[in-house]
Amino acid sequence: MTMSAGTNWQHASSPTTELQGNALNDSASGPYKVNSLRINPGADPIKGSVVWDPSRSIWNGGMLAAAVVLGPQYFTWGAFLVYVLLLELTMCAGHSVGFHRRLIHRTFKCPKWVERTLVWTGTLVGMQGPYWIIQSHDFRDWAQRQADCHPYLRHGQGMLKDAVWNLHCRLQLQNPPGFDPGPGIADDAFYRFLQRTWMAQQLPIAIVLYAIGGLPWLVWGVCARVATGVTMHWFVGYICHSHGPQSWIVNHGAVQAHNVPWAAIPSMGESWHNNHHAFPASALHGLYPGQFDIGFHFVRLLERAGLASDIQTPANLPPRAGISCFDGRARPVAAKTAGYNLFFGKSAGKQVVSAAAVAGASEPYVATASVEKPPADEPLGAG
């Protein structure tokens, strides 16, 4: 089944060669590249069709129906507690840390057994297997950095239609980039197993929950949890690309992200999405004081346990060209920073722009890569 609204979408105007080149270079190479894609000049983020995805549609619809119909009938406070604990565990350790910050963006290092445990926990969220998660994320990441992209990839058709598209359909681009997660991921037999059996990974959890708490624990610990996790992931993604404050702009990008403060706790810090778009290689998303980032705290917990190392933040990453300081939220931080693209920390480096110039600027400050890098101080907001 082809969704006519998404068929062969093409913007009326074509992006310039210069903008395409800038976006292509940023996506294809350097510390902020999209890791799993092999991007060639012919890759097109615009032309494509949205088609029904039967297996995901039936899975997502079935879990939601079971949660809505059976949840009230089998509600107990014990079952609800199991639901909350498993939802928080799988969304934090699994999706936010295992899938997003480790497998997709590789923002920290960890032993292979830790990575596999985190990825298995992420698979338990119930969205799909690890390769699908990586490819789906990276196609969107790459496309949103271009001068234009298909509305499926930029949440551009309104909330109801976007929900149908993202929970029940898939996008088939006419000329997509190549997909290759690389050694250690593409050739991992355990990840291939999880990709083939991602739905069946709920069975061990279901058996244990039923044995301990009967149908209430099964309904709330599996059906309600999966329905909530999948739907919440889509909704936070939609909101973070349409509503909320912004501190940074990715120059020439088709889609600009927003920070959504009220979603920070349920999303494990993923809703500081404007910050994430600016610094995708950073394990830290909550960049400023008061931006609570549970996922980053979990990474730090792994570090304190000796299970994570080489954690990347803007304080120790190379400066990123092509982003702009956009509002007053970022400018006070920028004004304190001498020599690091108006980012973080303290520096004895060269002054890039005066505090007065930043405070009084009527246009966004455009960051460049031609500044000195300061000592790796603790980034603001890390606590």
DSSP assignment of 277-339 equals HH-TT-S----STT---HHHHHHHHHHHTTS-B----TTTSPP-TTEEE-STTTHHHHHT-SS
Neighbour-count burial of 203, counting CB atoms closer than 10 A to its CB (0-12 exposed, 13-18 middle, 19+ buried)? exposed
Identify the weakest region by mean pLDDT among 79-88, 202-211, 277-286: 277-286
- The reply to whether 174 falls in a domain is yes
Average pLDDT, the chain: 82
Task: Report whether pLDDT(366) > 80.
Answer: no
Least Cα distance to 282 among 245, 249, 311 occurs for 311
- The reply to whether 341 falls in a domain is no
Q: Is the dihedral of CA 115, 118, 120, 123 positive or negative?
A: negative
pLDDT at 23: 46
Least Cα distance to 163 among 100, 258, 227, 95 occurs for 227
β partners of residue 51: 2, 170
Distance of CA 131 to the CA centre of its chain: 15
- The reply to whether 247 falls in a domain is yes
Query: Could you read off the pLDDT of 332-350 as tens digits, one per residue?
Result: 444 333 333 343 333 223 2
Query: Euclidean distance between the first and final Cα of the chain, in Å?
Result: 49
Query: Could you read off the pLDDT of 171-211 as tens digits, one per residue?
Result: 999 999 999 999 999 999 999 999 999 999 999 999 999 99
Task: Report whether pLDDT(292) > 60.
Answer: yes
Position 329 confidence tier, pLDDT thresholds 50, 70, 90? low
Taking residues 58-77, what's their average pLDDT?
98
To the nearest whole percent, how much of the chain has pLDDT over 70? 78
Q: Which residue has the higher pLDDT, 372 or 131?
A: 131
Query: Could you read off the pLDDT of 86-134 as tens digits, one per residue?
Result: 999 999 999 999 999 999 999 999 999 999 999 999 999 999 999 999 9
Task: Report whether pLDDT(253) > 60.
Answer: yes
pLDDT at 331: 52
Cα atoms in the Cβ-side hemisphere of radius 13 Å centred on 204 = 7
Task: Report whether pLDDT(296) > 90.
Answer: yes
Q: What distance in Å separates the CA atoms of residue 6 and residue 131, rounded to the nearest whole number?
A: 24
Q: Range of 194's domain?
A: 2-304
pLDDT at 330: 58
- The reply to whether 374 falls in a domain is no
Task: Report whether pLDDT(327) > 70.
Answer: no
- The reply to whether 330 falls in a domain is no
- The reply to whether 360 falls in a domain is no
Sheet of 365-366: strands edge to edge?
A: 248-250, 323-325, 365-366
Q: Is the dihedral of CA 364, 147, 272, 134 positive or negative?
A: negative
Which range, 25-34, 110-119, 326-335, 362-371, has the best average confidence (pLDDT)? 110-119
pTM for this structure? 0.82
Q: What distance in Å separates the CA atoms of residue 357 and residue 378, rounded to the nearest whole number?
A: 25
pLDDT at 22: 46
Query: Per-residue DSSP letters for 251-287?
Result: TT-S----B-GGGTTTTTTTTBHHHHHH-TT-S----
Least Cα distance to 47 among 10, 75, 20 occurs for 10
Helix segments in the chain, DSSP class H = 17-28, 54-70, 77-89, 112-123, 130-144, 159-168, 189-196, 202-218, 225-240, 273-278, 294-304, 331-335, 355-359
Task: Report whether pLDDT(54) > 70.
Answer: yes
CB atoms within 10 A of CB 211: 10
- The reply to whether 315 falls in a domain is no
The tally of domains found in the chain comes to: 1
pLDDT at 383: 32
